[in-house]
């Protein structure tokens, strides 16, 4: 009897010890945090611009944050942009992803388990460029022409909507799927008649090799592209403390990038990616930094993502309706804003991209 009770007590102690060991193992911090960027990047070391995330990268703020914990930060850059980042997420090769709205939606529609944590680069412009001596003067002139569009990226749907504004569809042009670098080479060598793209085209324009035919800058905010930070759900569930620290750093970078006193230095930092300061000045011309670099997931951002879902479904870029209401997980963002005293720093916008009632755009 006594030996049986001792044995039972031993089993209980063993089970408790095993439970504690399993709990400790389940919450063990990762050795490495891997961040995938939907860009080929540039510079040495590789970095990127146009996003507060690029500031965190160039300044090694994440590396500094996790140094004392012995956690390594690994940045991975993908020439294949958003679609390539989705593949890396599928294969669990990265833990966080910085990419645009359309590929994020495509990934979610295909079953990728992620959480959208915060915005990191809002209202990105789209441009249509052509060779300097081209007779293309407007979007309407694209009918029947060879036009480069980087399909599957966050510029794809905006390009389609720009075409629609001029009474055209993607079928009215001869679309050529090229990444940014390939599109530049094709345009300069007259391999295509025109190209849709982003700020990377200013460098080509300033070299006298292209002209900007159309720009979404200053037009309907619905004709802009959004980018944000995702985390794999499995990683987030296992490492909530580390996720919070990553978001804290990205919010710190967003704040620094929103301060107008830092505008010149911001562009110089981003220029380390290989895109000149002049290109960033053109991309952000007459646009407050706090609007473009806000991390807020406000009504405008939610509305844009829902519009991307609707457009992608209509164009058969995704096969089924995608619910996004439970996708946005902003509790890490809210904690970071509170910790850094930034709860009222950025302006929240309504679904149409206008300041919400009672708010104004403050000069930073």
* Each residue's pLDDT expressed in tens, for the chain with a length of 364 residues: 555 555 556 556 555 544 544 444 456 889 999 999 999 999 999 999 999 999 999 999 999 999 999 999 999 999 999 999 999 999 999 999 999 999 999 999 999 999 999 999 999 999 999 999 999 999 999 999 999 999 988 899 999 999 999 999 999 999 999 998 999 999 999 999 999 999 999 999 999 999 999 999 999 999 999 999 999 999 999 999 999 999 999 999 999 999 999 999 999 999 999 999 999 999 999 999 999 999 999 999 999 999 999 999 998 999 988 999 999 999 999 999 999 999 999 999 999 999 987 665 544 5
The answer to whether 71 and 64 are in contact (CB under 8 A) is no
User: CB atoms < 10 A from the CB of 224, how many?
Assistant: 21
Q: At what angle do helices 240-258 and 331-339 cross, to 10 degrees?
A: 60
Strand, helix or coil at 118? strand
In the chain, what is the straight-line distance between the N-terminal and C-terminal CA atoms, in Å? 77
pLDDT given for residue 359 in this prediction: 64
pLDDT of residue 25: 46
Cβ atoms within 10 Å, residue 36: 25
Q: Is the peptide bond before 201 cis (omega within 30 degrees of 0)?
A: no
Contacts of residue 2, Cβ cutoff 8 Å, sequence gap at least 6: none
* pLDDT of amino acid 24: 42
Residue 307: HSE in the Cβ half-sphere, 13 Å Cα cutoff: 19
Residue 12, pLDDT score: 60
Compute, in degrees rounded to 10, the torsion defined by CA atoms 233, 239, 244, 249. -100
pLDDT value at position 22?
45
Q: How far is CA 341 from the centre of its chain?
A: 24
Residue 147: strand pairing partners: 175, 194
Determine the pLDDT at residue 28: 84
The length of the chain in residues reads 364
| CA separation for the pair 129, 134 (Å, rounded) | 10
Look at residue 108 and give its three-state secondary structure.
helix
DSSP 3-state assignment of 122? coil
Residue 248, helix vs strand vs coil: helix
In angstroms, rounded to a whole number, what is the distance separating the alpha carbons of residues 230 and 95?
8
Helix, strand and coil percent figures for the chain, each rounded to 5: 45, 15, 40
What does the pLDDT read at residue 154?
A: 84
Q: Which residues share a beta bridge with 214?
A: 128
Which structure tokens are listed for 98? 């910085």
| Helix axis angle, 154-165 to 299-314, nearest 10° | 80
Query: Residue 223, SS3?
Result: helix
Measured over all CA atoms, what is the biggest interatomic distance in the chain, rounded to whole angstroms? 99
Residue 357 DSSP label: T
Backbone CA torsion sign across 72, 77, 81, 87: negative
The label of the residue with tokens 């911001």 reads 266
The confidence score (pLDDT) of residue 350 equals: 97
> What stretch of H or E contains 195?
strand 194-197
Which pair of tokens denotes residue 77?
């850059």
Distances (CA, A) of 279 to 78, 134, 176, 306: 22, 22, 25, 30
Look up residue 143 and give its DSSP letter. T
């Amino acid at each position: 009897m006594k030996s049986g009770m001792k044995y039972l007590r031993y089993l209980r102690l063993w089970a408790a010890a095993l439970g504690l060991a399993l709990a400790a193992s389940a919450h063990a911090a990762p050795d490495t945090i891997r961040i995938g960027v939907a860009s080929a990047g540039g510079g040495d070391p590789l970095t990127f611009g146009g996003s507060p995330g690029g500031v965190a990268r160039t300044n090694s703020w994440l590396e500094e944050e996790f140094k004392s914990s012995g956690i390594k930060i690994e940045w991975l850059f993908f020439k294949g942009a958003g679609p390539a980042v989705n593949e890396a997420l599928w294969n669990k090769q990265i833990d966080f992803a910085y990419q645009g709205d359309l590929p994020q939606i495509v990934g979610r529609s295909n079953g990728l388990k992620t959480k959208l944590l915060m915005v990191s680069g809002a209202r990105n412009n789209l441009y249509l460029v052509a060779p300097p001596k081209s007779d293309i003067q407007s979007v309407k002139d694209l009918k029947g022409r060879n036009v480069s569009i980087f399909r599957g990226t966050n510029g794809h749907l905006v390009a389609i909507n720009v075409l629609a504004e001029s009474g055209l569809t993607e079928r009215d042009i001869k679309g050529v799927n090229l990444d940014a670098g390939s599109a530049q080479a094709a345009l300069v060598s007259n391999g295509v008649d025109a190209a849709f793209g982003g700020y990377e085209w200013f460098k080509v324009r300033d070299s006298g090799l292209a002209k900007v035919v159309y720009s979404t800058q200053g037009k309907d905010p619905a004709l802009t592209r959004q980018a944000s930070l995702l985390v794999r759900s499995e990683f987030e569930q296992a490492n909530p403390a580390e996720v919070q620290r990553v978001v804290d750093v990205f919010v710190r970078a967003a704040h620094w990038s929103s301060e107008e006193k830092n505008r010149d230095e911001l562009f110089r930092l981003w220029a380390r990616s290989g895109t000149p300061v002049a290109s960033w000045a053109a991309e952000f011309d007459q646009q407050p930094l706090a609007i473009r670099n806000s991390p807020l997931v406000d009504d405008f951002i939610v509305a844009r993502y829902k519009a991307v879902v609707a457009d992608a479904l209509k164009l058969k870029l995704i096969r089924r309706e995608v619910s996004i209401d439970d996708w946005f997980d902003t509790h890490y963002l809210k904690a970071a804003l509170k910790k850094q005293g930034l709860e009222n720093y950025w302006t929240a916008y309504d679904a149409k991209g206008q300041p919400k009632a009672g708010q104004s755009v403050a000069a930073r």
